[in-house]
A and B are shown apart, each in its own frame.
Chain A
């Protein structure tokens, strides 16, 4: 039996990992220096969630993928130029800060509110996907807080594989300690799934997909609802870059035997 899932992917932007980040004090708390100017990418684990969602939708005809992004509209528009050609999705936008210093509770409330407002939402077919944690806050709690607000009690975190079984139940592999997976089965939708890397490569750009996506993306950006963050939950005493820079000893033009002996002595020391 094939189910037409409603797959909602929560994912936003983070600074390009190759950028140098420097904290500064903003009017409402800590921020990144030149934050609005920093090149952004789709949060990597949320990206994996989006690709997995598209793959699941492809295997289950009639399924629909909606990407809900919380971030500054202008930056999201730039981001969409890079990801719209990857996989088919509809976009829903919440306009607000994508800063890692925002409280997860406020972020989750905004995202859950946006999910609840999706037209034709049917919780019996609902799968909420997202990254297992973000590359900004790296808290790993937003998906669970969304689940609580939606009243969904089947939650998985650090998922690398989801297989729909013949009876519409799921089998999931979740990362646990020591490079192992916990294997679980879940009776079916609704469920909330925080993805790790999954197993899929990044899809190649497809201009036709991009054109189809862009028809909905621009109106979605124009309709973006404000997140309405209060940003008063956390009091930051300091945010600093780590100060430790090592005095690197560079060993070159040295025989291999000598280097190997030094490494072995160090390992055993």
Chain B
């Protein structure tokens, strides 16, 4: 009989982030489908009471918590210890947790300490009789595998967007506190802050409806034989401002900076989408001045509706990678799009 531990951490407001609520619904489904299993919850944070109340009605038979100032911050040594204590308190055979940057760093350590296994970027879960199968992608979203493991404990880190967020589980929870003893060695690392772009320069918006990708074409010579970098910057920033889209870029555009060529000042490696960048999840994506080569497009695996603007009718997007390809000058089209959005 599996003992399922749903593991989550609080955000800076003491609440569970959206991805944690998505993974809660995955944990609930898993518990329902695995006959005889027990669902428990484990929470880590400065103060976990509020988060526990968010999941009071989730069906977890117990909610364990590790809390205190040392657990408010995202740090490998303390997070791994907290997770270990929670998993041991629950006697977990399966640990299911959101694939946040905090847990992506810490939970492999949990798997090691439990003498268990870990799989990350889980995008699907299915129960086949008494067997748990998971789905995850390999070779940067080039191929998808369905797999299982016999060994326990098994730690699963689930990607965002794979499950609907659990709603209606709020209530008043009773948290069973789990004590964790820390040493000075656990606190050699100190979190000193978060470096965030200013609100105007915020171009990466994980919850945006639209991903807007800028390719290297924006910085190349246009039909008049000139480079229009400043125009490109203005058009793109105006569009991001009015549409609230998230900005992605191709590797070639990001790399231009390192090669000393003209660049868009607000683009960095953090914006890079594709084989060596991010694989964001947005309902829609619009690619501009980007050829749609395979190493870039693998980063679009989880973009549902895809459109592209390119002057080349035979570019990669035309080869079944986009729903619509507009063969046109992106400068002209996006200027007009901005005009229309401003009027709306």
Given A136-B139, A234-B147, A197 contacting B194 (CB threshold 8 A): no
Docked complex Cα distance between A45 and B275 (Å)? 11
Query: Which of these, A17, A234, A237, contacts B295 with CB under 8 Å?
Result: A17
- Contact present for B148 and A237 (CB under 8 Å): yes
Contact of B28 with A by CB under 8 A: no
B32 CB to nearest chain A CB (Å): 21
Docked complex Cα distance between A171 and B193 (Å)? 11
- Contact present for A237 and B336 (CB under 8 Å): no
Interface residues of A in 141-158 (CB under 8 A from B): 141, 144-145, 147-149, 153-158
| Chain A 169-202 interface 0/1 with B at a Cβ cutoff of 8 Å (1 = within) | 0010111111111111111100000001100111
- Contact present for B104 and A157 (CB under 8 Å): yes
Contact of B69 with A by CB under 8 A: no
Interface residues of A in 232-263 (CB under 8 A from B): 233-242, 245-254, 256-257, 259-261, 263
- Contact present for A238 and B286 (CB under 8 Å): no
- Contact present for B139 and A250 (CB under 8 Å): no
> What B residues does A52 contact at CB under 8 A?
none
Query: Which of these, A140, A178, A183, contacts B192 with CB under 8 Å?
Result: A183
Look across to chain A and name the residue whose beta carbon is closest to the beta carbon of B202.
Answer: A179
- Contact present for A138 and B146 (CB under 8 Å): no
A169 CB to nearest chain B CB (Å): 9
Contact of B341 with A by CB under 8 A: yes
Query: Which of these, B75, B210, B341, contacts A184 with CB under 8 Å?
Result: B75
| Chain B 74-105 interface 0/1 with A at a Cβ cutoff of 8 Å (1 = within) | 11110010000000000000000000111011
> What B residues does A18 contact at CB under 8 A?
293-295
Query: Which of these, A139, A174, A233, A259, contacts B121 with CB under 8 Å?
Result: A139
Look across to chain A and name the residue whose beta carbon is closest to the beta carbon of B151.
Answer: A233
Contact of A21 with B by CB under 8 A: yes
Docked complex Cα distance between A56 and B162 (Å)? 39
- Contact present for B327 and A252 (CB under 8 Å): yes
- Contact present for B121 and A144 (CB under 8 Å): no
Determine the main DSSP class of B at the interface with A. mixed
- Contact present for A153 and B118 (CB under 8 Å): no
- Contact present for B322 and A246 (CB under 8 Å): yes
A232 CB to nearest chain B CB (Å): 9
Q: Which of A74-82, A97-105, A218-226 contacts B (4 or more CB under 8 A)?
A: A97-105
Docked complex Cα distance between A105 and B108 (Å)? 9
> What A residues does B341 contact at CB under 8 A?
264, 267
Docked complex Cα distance between A242 and B112 (Å)? 32
Contact of A117 with B by CB under 8 A: no
Docked complex Cα distance between A71 and B189 (Å)? 33
Docked complex Cα distance between A197 and B251 (Å)? 11
- Contact present for B319 and A248 (CB under 8 Å): yes
A264 CB to nearest chain B CB (Å): 5
> What B residues does A234 contact at CB under 8 A?
147-149
- Contact present for A141 and B108 (CB under 8 Å): yes
- Contact present for A261 and B340 (CB under 8 Å): yes
> What B residues does A101 contact at CB under 8 A?
138, 145
A250 CB to nearest chain B CB (Å): 5
> What B residues does A30 contact at CB under 8 A?
145
Docked complex Cα distance between A252 and B327 (Å)? 5
| Chain B 120-163 interface 0/1 with A at a Cβ cutoff of 8 Å (1 = within) | 11000000000001000111101111111111000000000000
Given A233-B117, A251-B325, A23 contacting B143 (CB threshold 8 A): yes
> What A residues does B320 contact at CB under 8 A?
245-248
Contact of A64 with B by CB under 8 A: no
- Contact present for B147 and A21 (CB under 8 Å): no
Given A144-B108, A196-B269, A177 contacting B100 (CB threshold 8 A): yes
Look across to chain B and name the residue whose beta carbon is closest to the beta carbon of A136.
Answer: B139
Docked complex Cα distance between A256 and B76 (Å)? 52
- Contact present for A263 and B286 (CB under 8 Å): yes
**14 residue pairs bridging A and B, Cβ less than 8 Å apart:** A138-B121, A148-B113, A153-B80, A176-B194, A236-B147, A241-B144, A249-B324, A250-B327, A254-B326, A256-B328, A256-B329, A256-B333, A260-B334, A264-B341
* With A30-B145, A149-B112 already in contact, 10 other A-B pairs whose C-beta atoms are closer than 8 Å: A32-B139, A100-B138, A160-B269, A177-B101, A178-B205, A178-B206, A184-B190, A235-B148, A256-B328, A266-B307
Interface residues of A (CB under 8 A from B): 14-15, 17-18, 20-21, 23, 30, 32, 44-45, 100-101, 103-105, 135-141, 144-145, 147-149, 153-158, 160, 171, 173-188, 196-197, 200-202, 233-242, 245-254, 256-257, 259-261, 263-264, 266-268
